[in-house]
Amino acid sequence: MANPLDIADNPDVKPYRRGGEEVAADFAGLHPPLSPAAAQIEANRCLFCFDAPCTAACPTGIDVPGFIRGIATGNLEGAALAILEANIFGASCGRVCPTESLCEQACVRHADAGRPVAIGALQYHAVEGMLARAGHPFTAAAPSGRRVAVVGAGPAGLSCAHGLARRGHGVDVFEARETPGGLNAYGVAAYNLPGALAQREVDFILGIGGITLLTGRALGVDFTLAELRRRYDAVFLGIGLGGVRALGLDEGPLSGVEDAVSFIARLRMAQDKAALPIGRRVVVIGGGNTAVEEALFLTHHADQVTLIHRRDRLRAERILQERLFANPKISVLWNKVVVDILGSGQPETVRGVLLRDTQTGALSELDVEGVFIAIGHTPNTALFQGQLDMDEEGYIRTEPGSTRTSVPGVFAAGDVQDKIYRQAVTAAGSGCMAALDAEKWLATQPETVSAAE
Tell me if 231 sits within 8 A of 365, measured CB to CB: no
Query: Using alpha carbons only, how large is the chain's radius of gyration in Å?
Result: 23
What residues pair up with 363 in beta bridges, in sequence order? 356
For position 1, what pLDDT does the model report?
Answer: 43
Determine whether 207 is exposed, middle or buried from the number of CB atoms within 10 Å of its CB (0-12, 13-18, 19+).
middle
Alpha-carbon torsion (242, 246, 251, 255), positive or negative = negative
Please tell me whether the peptide bond between 347 and the residue prior to it is cis, using omega within 30 degrees of 0: yes
Q: Report pLDDT digits (tens) over 233-242.
A: 999 999 988 7
- Alpha helices (runs of H) in 8-118, residue ranges in sequence order: 20-26, 36-43, 53-57, 64-72, 76-86, 90-96, 103-106, 109-113
Alpha-carbon distance 39 to 113, whole Å? Answer: 18
Q: Report pLDDT digits (tens) over 240-289.
A: 887 777 777 765 556 678 887 788 788 777 778 777 788 889 999 999 88
For position 252, what pLDDT does the model report?
Answer: 56
Residue 387: count other Cβ atoms within 10 Å of its Cβ: 15
Alpha-carbon distance 118 to 141, whole Å? Answer: 35
**pLDDT band of 212, cuts 50, 70, 90:** very high
pLDDT surpasses 70 at 2: no
Q: What is the mean pLDDT of residues 377-391?
A: 82
Q: Report pLDDT digits (tens) over 330-373.
A: 999 999 999 998 886 656 688 899 999 999 999 999 999 889 99
For position 346, what pLDDT does the model report?
Answer: 59
Tell me if 418 sits within 8 A of 391, measured CB to CB: no
For position 196, what pLDDT does the model report?
Answer: 82
**pLDDT band of 323, cuts 50, 70, 90:** confident
Lowest mean pLDDT among 37-41, 127-131, 201-205, 244-248: 244-248
pLDDT surpasses 80 at 319: no
**pLDDT band of 112, cuts 50, 70, 90:** confident
Alpha-carbon distance 54 to 123, whole Å? Answer: 13
Alpha-carbon torsion (323, 327, 333, 337), positive or negative = negative
Choose among 112, 93, 137: nearest CA to 47: 112
Please calculate the CA angle 423-120-377 and round it to the nearest 5 degrees.
15
Domains, the chain, ordered by start: 13-28+244-377 (3.50.50.60), 36-132 (1.10.1060.10), 147-238+403-452 (3.50.50.60)
Alpha-carbon torsion (89, 95, 100, 105), positive or negative = positive
For position 245, what pLDDT does the model report?
Answer: 75
Q: Assign 361 to helix, strand or coil.
A: coil
With b meaning 16 or more CB within 10 Å and e meaning fewer, what string describes 127-149? bbebbeeeebeeebeeebebbbb
Tell me if 181 sits within 8 A of 240, measured CB to CB: no
The pairing of beta strand 211-215 with beta strand 304-308: unpaired
**C-alpha torsion angle, residues 186, 241, 377, 106 (rounded to 10):** -80
Q: Report pLDDT digits (tens) over 394-451.
A: 889 999 999 999 999 999 999 888 776 778 899 999 999 999 999 999 999 887 665 4
Chain-centroid distance of CA 118 in Å reads 21
Q: Report pLDDT digits (tens) over 55-87.
A: 999 999 999 999 999 999 999 999 999 999 999
Q: What is the mean pLDDT of residues 310-325?
A: 86
Q: What percent of the chain has pLDDT over 70?
A: 90
Lowest mean pLDDT among 22-26, 301-305, 339-343: 22-26
- Helices 64-72 and 76-86, axial angle in degrees (round to 10): 160
pLDDT surpasses 50 at 3: no
